[in-house]
A and B are shown apart, each in its own frame.
Chain A
Amino acid sequence: MVSNILTLMWLIPIVGSVLVLLVPKNQTRSIKYLAAIVTGVTLLLAIWLFVDFDRSEPGMQYVEKVAWIGAFNINYHLGIDGISIWMVLLTALLGFVATFASWSIDKAEKGYYALYLLLVGALFGVFSALDFILFFVFWEITLLPMYFLIGVWGGPRREYAAIKFFLYTLFGSVLMLLAILAMYFKSDPHTFSMIELQETGRAIGTSNLARLVWLGFFVGFAVKVPIFPFHTWLPDAHVEAPTPISVILAGVLLKMGTYGLIRVNLPILPDASLYFGTFLAVLGVINIIYGSLCALAQKDMKKLVAYSSIGHMGFVLLGLASFTSAGVNGAIFQMLSHGLLSGMLFLVVGVLYERAHHRYIVYPDDYEDPELAGKLSFGGLGIQMPVYTGVVMFAFFGSLGLPGLSGFIGEMLSLLGAFQVYPLLTALSVLGLIFGAAYFLWALQRMFFGEPNPRYEGIREISARELVSLVPLLLMVLLLGIFPRIAIDMFHASEFLQNLTTIFPNI
C-alpha cells in the first residue's frame, strides 16, 4: 500500500466517479453517501500521508515511476515533497467538506457527483505528478468536469461563465504545453521529468529561449491564479458556480497556478525568474490593491469574496517574487491559509444564499424591485443567527489577517520576505491589508450588526450539516494560526526550499 499510495489517491475518486455512474439515478441518497465515503477515504489516506511523511527527507517521497511511453521518455511518475503534501491535504480536506456542502444540490445528482469526484481525482493527480505530460493531462482533466459543474449546476449566467472559464484556462495551458515541449527538446537526453529538467533549465540561464519558456509557463499558471490581467473569468465563474464548486475553485484550483510557479517556474528557470522578479512583484501588488478595491465596491457578497481571493493571491505572488526564505515560506503558507479561509467564506455565503435566495449586501441600484434598490438587504443577522454570525466573523477576521489565525502568518511572512527586496512595493501593498479590513468590516457592519431586518425574522440558524463542513476548516485555521510550524517545518522537507539560497544566490 505504501508504494502505491499516490496512485490510490487519484484513482479512488475516479473509480468512485465511475461507481456513481452505475448507481440508479433515483437513488440519490446512495450516491451522496458513496461520494462522502470516497472523499472520506481519500482524506484518511491524506492524513495517513501527513503522519507518515518523513520530515527530514528533502527529496520526493512515495515516488512511483513506471515507463509509460518509452519512445518519448514519458513516465508515469508521481511523488510528493513537503510543499505538495500540503496541497494534497488541502484538496482532500476541501474535497471532503465540499461533498457535504453539495447535499443541497437537487438537480441531476448522479452527474454532479460523478463529475465532482472526477475533478477531485484529477486535482490529486496535478499535485503529485512529476512528469510534465502526466501533469498536463491531469491539469487539463480538471477543466472538463469544471465546465459542466459550472455550466449545468450554476446560476443564471452559468453558460457564459463556464465557457469563459474554459477558454481562458485552455488559452493559458496551451502556451504551457509549448513551453513544456521546448524544455523537452532542450534537455539531453530528452525528458519530461520535472526533476531532471531543473538541470536543463538552469543550464539555459537567461537566454531568450529561457525567458520565452518562462513566459509560456507563466501565462499558463497566471490564468489559474488568476493574476491581473487574466483574472476576469474568476468573478464570473465564482458568482455562477454552486457553493461547493466555488469552494473547490477558490480553495484548490487557484492554488494550481501558484503551485505551478513554485514547482516549475522558480526551480526550473531560476535565472529567468530573477529576471522577471520585479515584474512578478508588481503584478502581485496590482493583484492586492486592485482585488481589494474591487471587493470594496461589490454589493454581492459572493463577488466580494471572489475579488478578495484575487487580492489574497497577490500576497502569494509578492512573497514568491522576493525569492527569500521568508517570502517563499509565506507564499506557500498563504496558499494553504487562503485555501482554508476562502473555502470557509464561500461556505458561509452559501449558507446565507440557501436561506435568503440572494447574496446582496446592498440591493443594486437596478434591482428588479425599485422599492428595495439601493437599500441594505440584511441587518442585524447577528441577533437572528448568532452561531452563524460567529462563524462568519471568524472567517472574516481570519481573512483580513487577524493575528492568531492563519491568514496573518501567510501575509506577514510574505511581506517580511518581500520587504527585504522590494521595500517600496511592499509598503504599497500594505494598502491592500487596510482595504481588506475595510471591506470585511464594512460587510460585517451592514449585514450582521444594526437593526434586524424584519423580512428575515425567523431565518433558520446554521444547521448541523453546514457546521460539519465549516468546523474542520475553522479548526485548521486556528491551529495553523497558533502553530504555523506544523506546516512550515514540513515545507522545508523539499529540495526547493532547502536549496533556495543556492538557487537564488544573489538575494
Chain B
Amino acid sequence: MDNIGSLRYFLPELILILFAVGAIILDLIWRKSSARRMPWFTLIGLLLAFVAVLSLRPEARLASPSLFEGMIELDSFSLYFKALFLVSAAFIVLFSIRTTEIASVIRGEYHALLLASTVGMCLMASASNLLLAYLSLEMVSISSYILTGFRVRHARSSEAAFKYVFYGAAASGTMLFGFSILFGLTGHTGLREIAASLHQLFQDATPGVSLAAIVATVFVLAGLGYKIASVPFHAWSPDVYEGAPTPITAFLSVASKAAGFGLLIRFFYTGLAEPITATTTWSVIGDLDWQLLLAVIAAFTMTTGNLLAIQQDNLKRLLAYSSIAHGGYMLMAVLLLTQSGMQATLFYLGVYLFMNLGAFLVVILIADRLGSEDIAAYRGLSSRAPFVAFTMTVFLFSLTGLPPFAGFIGKLYLFAAVIESKLYWLAIIGVLNSVISLYYYVRVIKTMYLDEASTETPLQLPALYRVLLFALVIPTILLGVYWNPLYQWAAAALIRS
C-alpha cells in the first residue's frame, strides 16, 4: 500500500505521536499544574490509541495490508503487541503519579518520552523491513535511556542510564552490522524478500552463504538479545533495572521486553524461516540451524537469571534477574517454529504483563512508604498491610507458575509447545528452573508472612494503589481459572506468511 493510503491504518501510532508532541507543548502552557494534569492527558492518548488498535482488528484480516510500501505489517500479530504496549504504558503512567521517586521531576517530557517509546515499540512489533526495524529499536532505546536517567540527582540512576547507553550502542551497532551482511547477501531490506532470496541462495548452494548467513544471524541476535535481556547480552539489565525509576523498570521489563520479542519473532519467522505449506509450522531456511543456537541461549538465560536471583537482597534487582529468567522461558517457545510455540509466547507475554507489573507495583508502594527496596523491609508485611502482602503473594506464586494463577497456565502452554516439538531436554531444564525460582520468590513471601515486623503500625495505602493492585491481581487470578478469551486472542495473532 502506498504512503498516503497507509496513513489510515497507522492511526494508533499517529495518535500517540500527536499526544507526545501535545505533551511537550501543553507542559509549557500548563506550567505548575502540568504535573497534575499531564498523566490524565497521556492516558487519554493511550486510550484513544487503544480504541484505534481495536478498530483495526477487522482490517488485519484483510488480504495484505502491508503499509508504507512494505515497511510495516498490519497483522493481528502486531495489533496484539500494540495492545500489550498500550496497556502497560497506561499502567506505567498510573504508577508514576504518586511515586516519590520521580514525582518532583515529572513533567511533560516524561510523558512525551513514554509515548515516544511506545510508538517505537509499536513499530518494532510491526516492522517488516530491516531499516525500520533498526530505527524503531533505536527509538525505543533512546527514549528508554533518558527515562532511565530521569532521577537526575540520583547517582545510581545516572549510572544506570550511562551503562544502558553504552551497552545499547554496542548491541545495536552489532545488529546493524548483521543487517548489512544480510543486505549484502540478498540485496534486499524487506524481510520477505530476504527470505526468498536466501532460499534461492541456499538452493543454488552459493559458496559461503551458510557462513555469511550464520554470522549475520549471530550479529543480529546481539541487538535482539539485548532488548530481551538474554544471555550473554543480559549484563546491563540488573544495574539498569535497579537504577531506573521503578515505574520505568517495570516498563522495561514488560513492554520493552515484549517489543524485543515482537521484533525477534518477526525477524526469525519471516526473514529466516519459511512456512511449510498446509501445516502450522515453519522450517528453517537452508542449513541455518539457529534453532539450536536459540535453544542453548534460552537454557542459559533462564538458568543464569534464576541462579543469580537467589543471591539478591534488593527486591528490584531480584525482579530484574527473574525477568531475565522469564525471557528465557519465552525464548524457549519462540524457537520452536510452530504455531503453538508462537501462541504460547504471546499468551505468556499477556499474562506476564499483569503479574510482573503487579510485583513492581508492590515494590513501588513499599519504597514509597518505607523508603527501601530491600527484602528486609518486607518483614511482617502480612500484619502491617495484609492486602498488599496477599497480592504480592499472588503475583509471586504466579511468577513461579503455580496453579491456580495465570502464570501456571502461561507456563503450561510454553512447556506444552516445547514437549510437542519433542525438545525434552529443554523442557526439563525449563521446569527445573521453575523449581529454582520458587526458592527466591518464596523467600519474599516468607519475609512477609513468617518474619516478625519490627513495628506493627499499619501501612496507609493510597486509594490509587489499592485500585491498581486490584486491577492487576484480578486478571492474575482470573486468567488462571478461565483464560480462554486471552488465549483465543493470542491464538489469532499470527504472522501472515
**Does B402 contact A185, Cβ atoms closer than 8 Å?**
no
**Does A174 contact B434, Cβ atoms closer than 8 Å?**
yes
Stretch in contact with the other chain, from B174-182, B189-197, B416-424: B416-424
**Does A181 contact B446, Cβ atoms closer than 8 Å?**
no
Stretch in contact with the other chain, from B56-64, B231-239, B285-293, B425-433: B425-433
Q: How far is the CB of B430 from chain A (nearest CB, A)?
A: 9
A167 with B439, Cβ < 8 A, contacts A69-B484, A178-B431 known: yes
A151 with B450, Cβ < 8 A, contacts A141-B404, A174-B432, A174-B434 known: yes
Q: Is A10 an interface residue (CB 8 A)?
A: no
Interface residues on B, range: 20 to 34
Q: How far is the CB of A341 from chain B (nearest CB, A)?
A: 32
Q: Is B488 an interface residue (CB 8 A)?
A: yes
**Does A167 contact B438, Cβ atoms closer than 8 Å?**
yes
Stretch in contact with the other chain, from A142-150, A284-292, A461-469: A142-150
Q: How far is the CB of B118 from chain A (nearest CB, A)?
A: 31
Summarize B's interface: helix, strand, loop or mixed.
Answer: helix
Q: How far is the CB of B325 from chain A (nearest CB, A)?
A: 15
Determine the residue in chain B with the shortest Cβ distance to A72: B416
Query: How far apart sit A72 and B434, CA to CA, in the bound complex (Å)?
Result: 23
**Does A178 contact B435, Cβ atoms closer than 8 Å?**
no
Determine the residue in chain B with the shortest Cβ distance to A159: B450
Chain A window 153-197, contacts with chain B (Cβ cutoff 8 Å), 1 for yes, 0 for no: 000001100110011001100110110011011000000000000
Query: How far apart sit A177 and B419, CA to CA, in the bound complex (Å)?
Result: 11
Contacts between the two chains (Cβ within 8 Å), count: 77
Q: How far is the CB of A273 from chain B (nearest CB, A)?
A: 21
Query: How far apart sit A83 and B357, CA to CA, in the bound complex (Å)?
Result: 45
**Does A174 contact B435, Cβ atoms closer than 8 Å?**
yes
Contacts of A185 in B (CB 8 A): 416, 419-420
Q: Is A212 an interface residue (CB 8 A)?
A: yes
**Does A177 contact B431, Cβ atoms closer than 8 Å?**
yes
Query: How far apart sit A171 and B419, CA to CA, in the bound complex (Å)?
Result: 18
Stretch in contact with the other chain, from A132-140, A355-363, A369-377, A390-398: A132-140
A178 with B434, Cβ < 8 A, contacts A143-B402, A144-B402 known: no
**Does A178 contact B446, Cβ atoms closer than 8 Å?**
no
Determine the residue in chain A with the shortest Cβ distance to B421: A185
Contacts of A166 in B (CB 8 A): 438, 442
Determine the residue in chain B with the shortest Cβ distance to A174: B431
Contacts of B215 in A (CB 8 A): none
Chain B window 266-279, contacts with chain A (Cβ cutoff 8 Å), 1 for yes, 0 for no: 00000000000000
Chain A window 2-21, contacts with chain B (Cβ cutoff 8 Å), 1 for yes, 0 for no: 00000000000000000000
A152 with B450, Cβ < 8 A, contacts A147-B442, A178-B431 known: yes
Q: How far is the CB of B391 from chain A (nearest CB, A)?
A: 14
- The interface of chain A, by Cβ under 8 A from chain B, is 69-72, 133, 136-137, 140-141, 143-144, 147-148, 151-152, 158-159, 162-163, 166-167, 170-171, 174-175, 177-178, 181-182, 184-185, 212
* 29 CB < 8 A contacts A-B: A69-B484, A72-B416, A140-B408, A141-B403, A143-B402, A151-B450, A158-B450, A159-B450, A162-B446, A163-B442, A166-B438, A166-B442, A171-B432, A174-B431, A174-B434, A177-B412, A177-B415, A178-B419, A178-B424, A178-B428, A181-B412, A181-B416, A181-B419, A181-B427, A182-B419, A182-B424, A184-B416, A185-B416, A185-B419
